[in-house]
Structure 1
Amino acid sequence: MARLTEPQLVGNRPSGALQRPVVFEHTVEGLFHIALKDRLSRMAVASLKREGLDLSQKLLPAYPVEIWRRCLAIAVADLYPVVSRAEGYRRLGHDVVEGMVRTVLGRAVVGVARLLGPLRALRRLDHNLHSADNYVRAKLVELTPTWCEVSINEVLEQPTYYQGILEACLKIAGAQEIRVELISREGSGATYRVQWAE
């Protein structure tokens, strides 16, 4: 399967100018202010501040992906020290979705996903992921009404993080017996087999 490109043109910049990859404020809010509120140790909160995410201050409109990647690593090490790193990232994928759905923007997405059901919700995955940041793109290949392949162009070197995100998104959309399996890595991206029962 061809690797997805990363279209990152800025509308008001000269043609061909690339945006700096960033994660938007509501994504950071959903994970760190909502899902992980009161769950992180003081040491982890101090480490996040040193990396550029000060949870005691108003959040910035966006954070560079390098800061986001390091902050995710801090959260996984702090919250999930007794499981494998891969499993910790999968659980953090669930956490970020659970936090996002409690933001203003996320509540609207949840309502739509529940109405659409799993397959039609997956058809909106690219849009929904791209609303969290400006660099992640997803491509869906429908194999049956309950079986798809999903390719994500950038998984931050942690494919199980997006495995957890996919599992949590399908659950919100009403899927049962969810199975998300990593089937290949392509450059910085990954492809997953996604199956469920309705």
Structure 2
Amino acid sequence: MRVERSPAPQRRLVFEHTIEGLFRFSLRNRLSAPAWQALREVGLDLSKPLLPAYTHETWRRALELTVVDLYPALPRAEGWRNLGREVVNGMVHTLMGRAMVGVARLLGPLRSLRRFNNTLRSADNYVESRLTELSPTSCEVWLNEVMDQPSYYQGVIEACLTLAGARDIQTRVVACEGRGAVIHVEWEE
């Protein structure tokens, strides 16, 4: 009798260039000294060379600390949305990000959203998306994991579409499903 093993659960990892883009480029001089210390305490010591990848838990905790430090006066969801934009704006300074920006500009908003799953998978190994096209300038984006902060991914999508040439971008969360969400996106070309 042959016993089939179920595959080991995949370890959820965030890749080095994602960390580098946010903390070394976008937020380099903007966090307080206590925030930098708190990041070290959760496993993100930016005074040392970066590791190839960090756990999802380290990333999530680092983002939570960052939102509290950077945006204490904003409603929490708006702080997370701003942080989503910061991640993308920082990644454009990395080697991987520069390549992605060039492709996004060539493709334009809709075709860039069609490749959004690939974009997300270049940042980590666990967030996935599916796109439902509603019109040439309107879509719904399903995400399997939003860290209980769908507004973070609204910011990510808004920043990605801006890089692809979209204007007047509107996003709204239309559903939360387990650990994921569905985000409605509209824009002008």
* TM-score (norm: length of structure 1): 0.92
- Tell me what 2:106 maps to: 115
Kindly indicate whether residue 66 of structure 2 is the aligned counterpart of residue 75 of structure 1: yes
Q: Residue 140 of structure 1: which of 109, 131, 134 is its match?
A: 131
Distance 2:183 2:171 in 1: 6
Q: Residue 175 of structure 2: which of 181, 184, 195 is its match?
A: 184
Q: Please report how far the alpha carbon of residue 16 of structure 1 lies from its aligned counterpart in structure 2 after TM superposition.
A: 2.0
Q: Residue 125 of structure 1: which of 116, 121, 128 is its match?
A: 116
Distance 2:10 2:21 in 1: 23
Distance 1:112 1:148 in 2: 20
Q: Residue 84 of structure 2: which of 93, 98, 101 is its match?
A: 93
SS at match of 2:17: helix
Letter matched to residue 78 of structure 1: D
Kindly indicate whether residue 49 of structure 2 is the aligned counterpart of residue 58 of structure 1: yes
Distance 1:100 1:78 in 2: 20
Letter matched to residue 42 of structure 1: A
- Tell me what 1:163 maps to: 154
Q: Please report how far the alpha carbon of residue 18 of structure 1 lies from its aligned counterpart in structure 2 after TM superposition.
A: 2.6
SS at match of 2:156: helix
Distance 2:21 2:58 in 1: 16
Q: Please report how far the alpha carbon of residue 17 of structure 1 lies from its aligned counterpart in structure 2 after TM superposition.
A: 2.6
- Tell me what 1:3 maps to: none
Distance 2:153 2:48 in 1: 28
Aligned residues: 185
Kindly indicate whether residue 10 of structure 2 is the aligned counterpart of residue 19 of structure 1: yes
Q: Which runs of 5+ in 1 are unaligned?
A: 1-13
- Tell me what 1:5 maps to: none
Q: Which runs of 5+ in 2 are unaligned?
A: none
Q: Residue 49 of structure 1: which of 17, 40, 62 is its match?
A: 40
SS at match of 1:131: helix
Letter matched to residue 71 of structure 2: Y
Kindly indicate whether residue 27 of structure 2 is the aligned counterpart of residue 36 of structure 1: yes
Letter matched to residue 143 of structure 2: I
Distance 1:177 1:84 in 2: 22
Distance 1:19 1:58 in 2: 25
RMSD: 1.0
SS at match of 1:143: strand
- Tell me what 1:154 maps to: 145
Q: Please report how far the alpha carbon of residue 15 of structure 1 lies from its aligned counterpart in structure 2 after TM superposition.
A: 7.1
* TM-score (norm: length of structure 2): 0.96
